[in-house]
Amino acid sequence: MNKDARVFVAGHGGLVGSALVRRLRLGGYSNIVTRSRKELELTHQAAVEAFFKLEKIEQVYLAAAKVGGIHANDTYPADFIRDNLQIQSNVIDSGHRHRVKKLLFLGSSCIYPQLAPQPISEDCLLTGPLEPTNEWYAIAKIAGLKMCQAYRRQYGFNAISIMPTNLYGPGDNFDLQTSHVLPALIRKCHEAKQRGDEEVVVWGTGTPHREFLHVDDLADACVFLMERYESADPVNVGWGKDIAIRELAEIVRETVGFTGRLTFDRSKPDGVPRKLLDTSRLRSQGWAPRISLRQGIAATYEWYLKSQQALPA
Ligand SMILES: NC(=O)c1ccc[n+]([C@@H]2O[C@H](COP(=O)([O-])OP(=O)(O)OC[C@H]3O[C@@H](n4cnc5c(N)ncnc54)[C@H](OP(=O)(O)O)[C@@H]3O)[C@@H](O)[C@H]2O)c1
């Protein structure tokens, strides 16, 4: 792979995009192109078209999307389906028109049916109803994957799709209104420790199992696949093992040093009982993750503390 290639990381300010930029720089890529949302609104088709026409991009990592947890998906269904359909359609179509050599589309494990057999293989796609809480987002992501397959089939466009499990790491979203479970737990435990609270309330029963992958491992897998994977078939990217939310909360409690107790609010939704990706397709290509959950949570908490210090008083 040519390390001088002009590589566009769409969504470089986000959790995944920033990890991709770190990983690409580390890997010797010297021509990374980024645009903030202010500079390039990806839902605006004409702006995206003009960007690709001018910039002569050779590779695209499509990590820009409207992303959020159960609450955000449930509250803003129209925004989730519209923004994601627009962003991905604009970038994939303009990328193809302006001769991008390869594009990597980031989907999500929520594209799979709610009751898919575990671990979930890529072949489960479209075999049953989706989890209703985030179906808007999931439908958009399925359309993105299908668009990559259609453009490969009709135009020979070299677009690949990956489906990551739940991600976490430096740059995560710690806003309790829109965040995912892991950063929300870190923030709740940290603030409870600071206030001297006796308990932290965790949403749901604590029994569902989820899989978590550090975003630096994800970025490594993306670059690995961009450099050698050439197929229309999507690739799951995960850690390979899941953990009960109760156990996860316990690791966070220990890492943060919160000495109070964890209680579980059973009135809040649990989501699906288990969600673990079958990562055999990726592993058969020769890639495996490296960052353990404990190491990753400790590094994420360290980043959270630093980012708090950086905020104006
Ligand atoms: N986080 C996860 O657990 C997870 C799991 C599976 C898959 N994924 C996938 O990974 C990708 C990236 O997710 P992430 O967690 O990195 O999300 P994120 O932290 O919210 O980052 C998304 C990025 O996209 C940009 N963006 C959003 N709307 C835009 C628009 N209309 N125009 C231009 N830029 C826009 C955002 O810019 P602003 O901040 O300026 O809006 C931000 O930089 C998504 O496709 C997501 O589906 C994420």
C-alpha 253: how far from chain center? 24
Gap between the Cα atoms of 231 and 241, Å rounded? 26
Which two tokens mark 287? 């890639």
| DSSP-assigned letter for residue 123 | G
Q: What are phi and psi of 245, to 5 degrees?
A: -55, -35
Number of neighbours of residue 159 by Cβ within 10 angstroms: 24
pLDDT tens per residue, range 249-268 = 999 999 999 999 999 999 98
Q: Which atom of ligand 1 lies nearest, measured to the CA of 137?
A: 47
pTM of the model: 0.96
Q: State the number of CA atoms in the 13 A half-sphere of 3 facing the CB.
A: 8
Instruction: Please list the active-site residues.
Output: 137
pLDDT tens per residue, range 211-246 = 999 999 999 999 999 999 999 999 999 999 999 999
Q: Specify the residue with its C-alpha closest to ligand 1, atom 21.
A: 14
Q: Left (φ > 0), alpha (ψ -120 to 50) or beta: where does 240 sit?
A: left
pLDDT for 265 equals 95
Residues 255 and 190: beta-carbon distance below 8 Å: no
Q: State the number of CA atoms in the 13 A half-sphere of 157 facing the CB.
A: 28
Q: Specify the residue with its C-alpha closest to ligand 1, atom 2.
A: 167
pLDDT along the chain (313 residues), means of 10: 93 97 98 98 98 98 90 89 98 98 96 95 97 92 98 98 97 86 96 97 95 98 97 97 97 98 92 91 97 97 91 56
The binding-site residues of ligand 1, defined as CB within 6 angstroms of any ligand atom, are 11, 13-17, 37, 41-43, 63-67, 83, 87, 106, 108, 164, 166-167, 173, 180
For residue 64, how far is its CA from the centre of ligand 1 (angstroms)? 4
Output the CA–CA distances (angstroms, integers) from residue 107 to 62, 205, 265, 283, 290, in the order listed: 9, 28, 30, 18, 22
Q: For a pocket test of ligand 1, which of 12, 16, 174 has the largest count of ligand atoms closer than 8 A to its C-beta?
A: 16
